[in-house]
Amino acid sequence: METSRSRSFFQDLKSREVNGFRVRKRPYMGCNTQDFDPIGAVAVEHRGVTSPPMALSFCKTSKNAHILALTDEGGYVTLFNTRQKFRDFSSYQANAEKAKVCEWVAHENSIFDLCWIKDDANILTASGDQSIKIWDTQEQKCIRALMGHTGSIKSVSCHPTNQELVVSGSRDGSFAVWDTRCSENNYRKLCVSPLSVIHEAHTYPARRRRRRGKAESMSITSVLYLKDEVSVATAGAVDSIIKFWDTRHLKAPVTHACPHSESSTEEKRLHGISSLSQDLNGVFITASCMDHRIYLYNVLQLEKGPIKTFSGGRTDSFFVKSSISPDAAHILSGSSDGNAYIWQVNKPHLSPITLKSHDGEVTAVDWSPSEMGKVATCSDDFTVRFWNIQSSCYSNTRSPSSIRKRVMALPRIEGRKLFMDEPICTKSDANRTPSNVNSQPPIRTPEISTPESQKRKFSLSFEVKEELERTPEAEMKSPSSVLNPPSSLKRKTIRDYFPLS
């Protein structure tokens, strides 16, 4: 049984309201570091044996958004119902049995990453046994096995729209692109071979010829399939460089991004990256770096380097992950100091919110895509904790990737004159032809337009009329078309904005 704890803020609030006196409105906690009690915690164990959790992910559809998938070092996949009511006096083992939907042994080795696909009907698991398996979540049955890597598979990501396409990164230094519909042969229908494999994707030629015993890791730690549907981002344990690849031309990366300029000393760039994440719109990418910082990049401004930097946590191992929220307003990260941290994207200078309760290194984290404010964290203390941080994070914030529309109102004097001078038309007046049309000057509605100075200031490479009509031609000219291209025309990709030099 877990130790008893002081009552949470919500219990105190309920008690004070019942007792009949007013409670002041809770202040915004954007820069407060007080700890928050989780809404629930479950133990990670099987048949009485604990197992360190490795990866977790909420379902992607709104109807299943409360279901969390968890993988661990023992090769298990466990699904939990996070809407289950957890009692304070219950043990974590009892909570796990109560919230557990199902579990099964997916691999005979650690499962380092997982990914929901096809409206949560299937799930991908990437394992240390050098394979990726596709599971039917209803029957817990393996329907495909992706074989081809020669090292542990550390990361997996699926195509944003065609989820038969998958990219994976391995400890062998390669990343691979797969089509799960292509089986190897008639005798092994379950096995799939990669379409393309890029070896030593994050290894410099000068570093390959090192003395024996001095070889450094060339592991691919994280991969992302970007929203333009043809680009892939990769990161490794060698350095803090993110490479971007066009899947149609995989011979060399299209461009790269790193936290330091080329003139910086090389030692500043030797910190590896433990994880990458992107928001729902694909505008931003975060990189959790081993220099204990999280870097935020704009996909269309990679040449500028990171646009924001977040610090406060500790990343002492490649198991510590971070994740940007679906609306790109916050960043959630684990930490080696036993806490999880949440930063506001718009206010990186503020101290992060601290989530305290774990007793070991906090590793994988995730946001619920539909239940706003619900997050999950797991730790080497063999527990997974669920948090509701909506009241702390969502009171005064706005998504940086949201589109703000400029609305022009009538000038106060002209608007008042428009309504004061307008004659009242009665039913009898409507049937009668006016005898003196020119007795009063005609009422002219004032034209509403952007001043010329403002037009010059905000002018882009396409006309305002085209922007309002959203024609296919205007879409193609807009820089945002790389993230949301029209289906009827040839897409611009990240390669078009960052051509090879």
pLDDT tier for residue 389 given thresholds of 50, 70 and 90:
confident
Mean pLDDT of 229-234: 96
pLDDT digits (tens, 9 = 90+) for 444-470: 544 445 455 444 443 433 333 333 344
Q: Are 283 and 328 in contact (CB under 8 A)?
A: yes
- Provide the pLDDT for residue 182: 81
- Provide the pLDDT for residue 452: 54
- Provide the pLDDT for residue 498: 55
> Of the CATH numbers 3.40.50.620, 2.60.40.420, 1.10.580.10, 2.130.10.10, which one belongs to the domain with range 35-393?
2.130.10.10
Among 119, 123, 142, which Cα is nearest to 57's? 123
Q: For the chain, which residues make up each domain, given as ranges?
A: 35-393
Q: What angle do CA 442, 448, 450 make, to 5 degrees?
A: 150
d(CA 489, CA 495): 16
**Average pLDDT across the chain, whole number:** 77
pTM for this one? 0.73
Mean pLDDT of 36-42: 79
- Provide the pLDDT for residue 156: 98
pLDDT digits (tens, 9 = 90+) for 261-273: 654 544 455 789 9
Q: Is residue 294 pLDDT above 80, yes or no?
A: yes
Neighbours of 258 (CB within 10 A): 22
Q: What angle do CA 245, 249, 252 make, to 5 degrees?
A: 55
Q: Is residue 471 pLDDT above 90, yes or no?
A: no
d(CA 43, CA 456): 60
Q: Are 376 and 82 in contact (CB under 8 A)?
A: yes
H or E element: which one contains 477? helix 472-477
H or E element: which one contains 474? helix 472-477
Mean pLDDT of 215-231: 88
Instruction: Render 284-342 in DSSP notation, one character per residue.
Output: EEEEEETTSEEEEEEGGGGGG--SEEEESS---STT--EEE-TTSSEEEE--TTSEEEE
- Provide the pLDDT for residue 16: 40
Buried b (16+ CB within 10 A) or exposed e, 54-88: bbbbbbbeeebbbbbbbbbbbbbbbbbebebebee
